[in-house]
A and B are shown apart, each in its own frame.
Chain A
Amino acid sequence: MNAMARAASLALLGSCVALGPLGMPLVNGQTPIEQVTTDTPEYCLHLLQRLRQIEQNRPPPKDVSYLSDEGKLMCDHGQIRAGITRLRRAMQIMLAPTEK
């Protein structure tokens, strides 16, 4: 492959990459911005309830209860997303064996 062809293909490649995101339609800000419902205290509570349900059938390992306690605490103190993350990790551990 000669230099010209190589340069041309690189340029083509580059323009594809550059134009790729531009070609994507952007749902713009004129419509009201959608709320994500999994960042709310309600969802925090919902996750906690589900965890409790599962824990009824099977005693949770130590770190699961630690994670869920910590998550609950954080949700209570307003650190919703961080709390939810911990609850999710706890959920993941609880569900892992049955999921797989």
Chain B
Amino acid sequence: MTGPGVKAAPEMGRQRPTLWRRLTGRGSDRPLRLLRSASIRFAAVYAVLLALSGFALALFLWYETAGLLDRQTEAAIRADAQGLSERWEEGGLPALVMTIDDRLAQNVDDDAIYLLVDSQLRRIAGNLQRWPQGVTATNAWYELPVQRAGIRSLARVQRFDLLGGFHLLVGRDVRVRAQLRNLLTDAMLWALVIVVAMASGGALVVRGLFRRTLANISHTSAAIAAGDLGQRVKLSGRGDEFDQLAETINDMLERIGRLMDGVRQVSNAIAHDLRTPITRARTRLEDAALHAGSEAELRAAIERAIADLDGIVAVFQALLRITEIEAGSRRSAFTAFDLAPVLADVGELYAAVAEERGIQVAVESPPQLPAYGDRELIQQAIANLLDNAVKFSPRGGRVTVSGAASGGGVIIRVRDQGPGIPPDELSRAGERFFRGEDARSTPGSGLGLALVQAVAHLHGGTLRLDDAAPGLAAVLLLPMAQPLDPAGPGT
């Protein structure tokens, strides 16, 4: 059994440094920690981006200035060559020679370079002494060092081949321009150095800002991780993204707090509400094992213990069902259906029980009541509400189940004439295992309303408990998530 799973185990087991440790530098391996620090990454990204944009800007400026000089030179040379070749075509060699001489004679800028040679590279016209050795290709630019009155200079030249084996060299002295270009390049390089320096400085500032902003959140998280759930992230009041994040985190903490309360409450309830029947079953069994005088007595004790255990199982199943509903996996079972027969059926199911206790159950519903959701769960929710109502109604009382279309959904109201729930307990009545002070003596798990609540939430609806004076009105509001087609299930 040596697979990747085995290999991966130590990797997974390795303690990942918490955010707090990362931010405050209490980690063990410093270089790695530096790379893993989000603030440093952020700062680095900032610096790189700024340097890159500075570089791009410098390149652009360079291209528009120094590059322009080069391009101008090249354009001038090309135009020059074009003119010369026209003269060559019009008047042949003498015209070309004359033109070259003329142009040289009028070259006020003192930068023109011409050289016309024959096939033996013997000079015919122009102001270069000899044909430079390196210039072999046409249509290529050459940087040619030249000597001008004892001073070294640089020329940019291009070679043109003419009919009859003549070669023409046209160029410009670019020394002044090259100097200018170098000057510009230097300026750009210096600008880049400044940009890089500023980027680094800016990165430090960004890192500081980032850290300071996160420190608030990480302080809070650390405090909460240490068990102080009351902490909240402080808001700067600017309403910016960090405030939004802080708000989201605070909302999350709020929800976690509520869930934790819920879990605590449920586990307390389990500890309390299940301990009682378990204790009872255990006591019965032990008592029977020790004291049962006859087999019949033993059997009776065991049977009662089994009944207790069944009760425990029922509570577990109800809990699991609520959890299942709250997980939302049942949403796939949503369909459009007619609620009217559902109400009638549930009413009929409980009417008999109610009648035994002298309670009257009335169902009020339009002939058709289109609804959308999980039929079985809604059925169970109504049954639970009705079960409660019948359970708490006094003899001779009346329980009304009514259904009606309301806005985009349906509203189901179950009203009894029982003692109701005191106002201070109303808000907690949907909690798991909650049982009103007056209801302690009534049989039940305290999970009925919690399930209804869960069903309501699953459907995006609400369960409201109103004081119906006298009695309690449970109002289940289920919005219809999907418009029904008129030829739907009602027909």
Contacts and interface: CB of A to CB of B under 8 A. Distances in A.
Chains A, B in direct contact (C-beta < 8 Å): yes
Contacts of B148: 36, 39, 81
B128 interface: yes
B104 A95 contact: no
B134 A13 contact: no
A88 B127 contact: no
B106 interface: yes
Interface of B, helix, strand, loop or mixed by DSSP: mixed
B59 interface: yes
B146 A7 contact: no
B105 interface: yes
Contacts of A95: 102, 105-106
Interface in A29-44: 29, 31, 33-40, 43
B110 A81 contact: yes
B147 A34 contact: yes
Contacts of B317: none
Given A10-B60, A33-B145, A34-B146, A27 B133 contact: yes
Interface size class of A (residues with CB under 8 A): 35 or more
Nearest to B102: A95
Contacts of A29: 145
B333 interface: no
Nearest to B59: A14
Contacts of B105: 47, 50, 88, 91, 95
Contacts of A25: 134, 140, 142-143
A1 interface: no
Given A21-B70, A25-B142, A31-B132, A36 B113 contact: yes
Nearest to B106: A92
Given A35-B129, A36-B147, A92-B108, A10 B59 contact: yes
Contacts of B134: 25, 27-28, 31
A22 B126 CA distance: 28
Contact of B110 (A7, A11, A33, A85): A85
Interface of B: 52-53, 55-56, 59-60, 62-63, 67, 70, 102, 104-108, 110, 113, 126-130, 132-135, 140-149, 152-153, 173
Interface in A81-100: 81, 84-85, 88-89, 91-92, 95, 99
A91 B149 contact: no
A77 B436 CA distance: 122
7 contacts: A17-B59, A25-B140, A33-B152, A35-B146, A36-B128, A37-B128, A89-B108
Nearest to A27: B134
B55 A14 contact: yes
A84 B110 contact: yes
A5 interface: no
B142 A26 contact: yes
A64 interface: no
Given A34-B144, A88-B106, A14 B63 contact: yes
Interface in A48-89: 50, 80-81, 84-85, 88-89
Contacts, number: 113
Contacts of A34: 128-130, 132, 144-147
9 interchain residue pairs of minimum CB distance: A14-B59, A27-B134, A38-B127, A39-B149, A10-B56, A17-B63, A35-B129, A92-B106, A31-B133
B113 to A, nearest CB: 7
A20 B373 CA distance: 71
A82 B152 CA distance: 17
Nearest to B126: A37
A24 B142 CA distance: 6
A25 B136 CA distance: 11
B59 A18 contact: yes
Given A10-B60, A14-B59, A38-B127, A88 B144 contact: no
A21 B141 CA distance: 9
A24 B143 contact: yes
A31 B131 CA distance: 11
A34 B135 CA distance: 12
Nearest to B56: A10
Contacts of A99: 102
Contacts of A26: 142-143
Contacts of A21: 70, 143
A88 B146 CA distance: 21
A36 B146 contact: yes
A20 B70 contact: yes
Nearest to A16: B63
Nearest to B173: A36
Contact of B106 (A13, A31, A91): A91
